[in-house]
Amino acid sequence: MVILFDKEYLEELYYEGKCNDKNYRFQPYIVKGYVKCVRILERARIIEDLFPFRGLNYEILKGDKMGLSSVRINNQYRLVFEVLIDEDTNEEIINICKLIDITNHYR
Task: Sketch the domain layout of the chain as residue ranges.
Answer: 2-104
pTM: 0.83
The pLDDT assigned to 58 comes to 92
Of the candidate CATH numbers 3.20.20.60, 3.30.2310.20, 3.40.50.300, 3.30.750.24, the domain formed by 2-104 belongs to 3.30.2310.20
CA separation for the pair 103, 60 (Å, rounded)? 15
The count of other CB atoms within 10 Å of the CB of residue 7 is 15
Residues 51-104: pLDDT tens digits?
A: 999 889 999 999 988 888 889 998 889 999 888 776 776 554 445 567 677 877
The CA distance from 17 to 59, in Å, is 26
Arithmetic mean of pLDDT, 29-41: 92
For position 20, what pLDDT does the model report?
85
Distances (CA, A) of 24 to 36, 47, 98: 18, 28, 18
